[in-house]
A = this chain, B = another copy of it.
């Protein structure tokens, strides 16, 4: 490593939390572009079919060590990164180290209590590219829901169909799914079981989305999370989650016609 310049060395204090955040974030994508600046760590990528955009941001303040020499963009191999991160335990700090020109990212799991340090090298497929752009849409209808309640709806709907429709009208959201000869429906209202519900429009607003993408992302999320979903007529669906420990995970899913 002589003569190599450190690009970043950052340490996240809770292995289980880091694992959970990462597993939810990478569920729908095939490669993992990491952008590290003095602001924090950003992971933004499209799913292979381009119907989902994942956007994770963890601010530098959520790390116990955040040492960045200059802005860095690298893409790591999903399978290798995932397998290493998955080995993290609650008491482990997860330390990511990258040196200029290196072909690998070092992932170190360090248990401060036992002093045991485990070091994995994870291959980098690309460096220096620009991250994909953000989506700038403000959803017309927004509702807040427990992750468990959303999972239940999605599992229900998946029994009968591959897409799900959200229809806002009269301060309620009708959820529908239907295939040739089967159907499912339920109605969501404030407190039944929504935690919040608002619409910027007066009348009826509806959007249809892929159940597989929704199922993928909600399955990867922990049980205890509260989510804010937003949608609109022909708009993408936005799933928004504030991360315990700091940071935001946003997933956009393209509308279906």
> Is the CB of A155 closer than 8 A to any CB of chain B?
yes
Interface of A is mostly: strand
Q: Name the residue in A80, A116, A155 with the highest tally of chain B Cβ atoms < 10 Å from its Cβ.
A: A116
Instruction: Determine whether the beta carbon of A181 is less than 8 Å from that of B103.
Output: yes
> Is the CB of A100 closer than 8 A to any CB of chain B?
no
Which positions 82-126 of chain A face chain B at CB distance < 8 Å?
83-84, 87, 103-104, 114-123
Number of copies: 3
Given A87-B155, A159-B83, A184 contacting B116 (CB threshold 8 A): no
Q: What per-residue 1/0 map shows which CB atoms of A164-192 lie under 8 Å from chain B?
A: 00000000000000000111111101001
Q: What per-residue 1/0 map shows which CB atoms of A65-92 lie under 8 Å from chain B?
A: 0000000000000001001100100000
Which positions 195-231 of chain A face chain B at CB distance < 8 Å?
none
Instruction: Determine whether the beta carbon of B117 is less than 8 Å from that of A187.
Output: yes
Q: Which residues of A contact B (CB under 8 A)?
A: 80, 83-84, 87, 103-104, 114-123, 152, 155-156, 159-160, 181-187, 189, 192-193
